[in-house]
Structure 1
Amino acid sequence: MSNLFIVVGLKAKAGKEDELRRDLAEIVEPSRKEDGNIRYDLFEDRDEPGCFVFVEEWESMEARSKHHEQGPHIQHFHANGVRNVEKTEFARLLKRVV
C-alpha cells in the first residue's frame, strides 16, 4: 500500500494569527517523531497571514489515525489551541498520481 498524503488548511480568527501560529508550530516536532510519520510540515500563506497549511505524509492510515486520535500534543491543541481557528478551509487525503 502506498503512503498517505494529507493537506489541511486552517484560517486563524482575526487578531489570533500569532497565537495560532505558535500553537500550530508546537505540534510539528512531536508529530515528526511519531511512528509512521514521514513528513509533517507547516506553512503560512505569504499573501494572507493567518492562513496555515499542513502537509503530511504517513506510512499508513493507521499511523495517521493514531497521531490524530491519541497524540498528546494533538489532544492538547484540540483542547486549547483550536479556539484560535476561524475555520478549516480544506482537508484532503491525497493519492500520488505520478
Structure 2
Amino acid sequence: MSEIAVVAISVAKPGHEEQLRAALEGIVGPTRKERGALQYDLHRDLREPRRFVFFERWESEEALAAHAKSAHIEAYKKASAQWIESAELRIVSKIA
C-alpha cells in the first residue's frame, strides 16, 4: 500500500459557480470521514472563480476507488453534472 495524491479540477458553467461550490462543499465532510482519506481540501482559483480545485491525499489507490463509489460522491455526480463545464483528475505519487 502506498500513499497517492489527487488533484481534481472542476470548472463551473457560467452562472453556476455557486451551485457547484455548494455541492463541492457538501462532499468535504463525508469524504474526510472515509477510511483512507488523509487530506481532502477544496480551493477556489483566485483568478478564475469558476475553477475549483481539490488537493487530496489517500492511503492507497484502493481507498480512492472506494471513495469514487461512495454514496455521497455518486449523489454529487448526479446533482452537479448540469453545472460542470469541464473536469480533470490527476492521480500522482510523491517522488521527492
- Is the shorter-chain TM-score for this pair beyond 0.5, marking a shared fold? yes
Correspondence for 1:43: 43
Computed over aligned residues only, the root mean square deviation of the Cα atoms, in angstroms, reads 0.9
| Alpha-carbon separation, structure 2, partners of 1:17 and 1:68 | 23
Q: Which residue of 2 aligns with 1:63?
A: 63
Structure 1 residues without counterparts, runs of 5 or longer: none
5+ residue gaps, structure 2, are: none
- Return the TM-score normalized by structure 1: 0.93
- Displacement of 1:82 in angstroms is 2.2
1:10 is matched with: 10
- Residue 54 of structure 1 aligns with which residue? 54
Q: Distance in 1 between the 2:57 and 2:75 partners?
A: 21
Pairs within 5 Å for 1:14-29: 14-29=14-29
C-alpha separation in 2, matches of 1:91 and 1:79: 17
Q: Which runs of 4+ in 1 moved over 6 A?
A: none
The residue correspondences of 1:65-80 to structure 2 (distance < 5 A) are: 65-69=65-69, 71-80=70-79
Shift of 1:78: 1.1
How far apart in 1 are the matches of 2:80 and 2:10?
12
In structure 1, the residue corresponding to 2:49 is in which secondary structure? coil
- The TM-score normalised by the length of structure 2 is 0.95
The residue type paired with residue 28 of structure 1 is: V
For residue 33 of structure 1, report the CA deviation from its aligned partner: 0.2
Instruction: For 1:75 and 1:64, locate their aligned partners in 2 and report how far apart those are by CA, in whole Å.
Output: 14
